[in-house]
Amino acid sequence: MSETTGGIDLEEDTSGVVKKFMFVNRRAPYGTIYALEALEVVLISAAFDQDVSLAFLDDGVYQLVKGQHTKGVDMKNFSPTYRALEGYDIEKLYVERESLEARGLSEDQLIVPVEVMSSEELAARMDEQDVVIGF
């Protein structure tokens, strides 16, 4: 079973079991499809009542930058969706401080309230997870 289902046993009745899921975002929005796809999966995961968190590091921090206007590139501006996550009980948004600093960004330039932490702290959060999914 784990060969095709990524370790998730679909046969067993697992209703009521809550696992810690972390979605790791490391790509800038728009240049590739990763950021948008991650957001889709995160929204789907909300339906399963799991303990979901999102980590933003490397170019992933660009996803949360305020003031995105995509009319000129004719693409969907999906940045407002991060503000809607709260409504799906997804409130654990972790942003790596080193990634922000390297890019000349600060917390007040982000579109949603997040928890900014060091890469060491973020690594510890990753270690606590049952499932980590990277984009």
Partner 1 sequence: MLHIVNKSPYEKSALASCLAHATKGSAVLLIEDGVYAVVQGGTVEAELRQAMGRLELYALSADLEARGMKDKVIDGVKLVDYGGFVDLVAAHRTNQSWL
Q: How many CB atoms neighbour CB 49 within 10 A?
A: 12
At its nearest, how many Å lie between partner 1 and the CB of residue 111? 9
Q: Give me the amino acid identity at 89.
A: D
Contact 62, 99 (CB under 8 A): no
At its nearest, how many Å lie between partner 1 and the CB of residue 13? 42
Is the CB of 52 or the CB of 116 nearer to partner 1? 116
At its nearest, how many Å lie between partner 1 and the CB of residue 31? 3
Is the CB of 90 or the CB of 110 nearer to partner 1? 110
Q: Which residue bears the tokens 């996803």?
A: 63
Is the CB of 92 or the CB of 103 nearer to partner 1? 103
Query: Cα-flanking dihedrals φ and ψ of residue 94, to 5°?
Result: -110, 130
Contact 97, 117 (CB under 8 A): yes
Within the chain, what is the greatest distance between any pair of CA atoms?
Answer: 49
Is the CB of 21 or the CB of 34 nearer to partner 1? 34
Token code pair at residue 91? 């409130």
Residues lying near partner 1 in the complex (CB under 8 A): 27-32, 58-59, 62, 65-73, 75, 77, 79, 102-105, 109
At its nearest, how many Å lie between partner 1 and the CB of residue 8? 30
Token code pair at residue 43? 């929204």
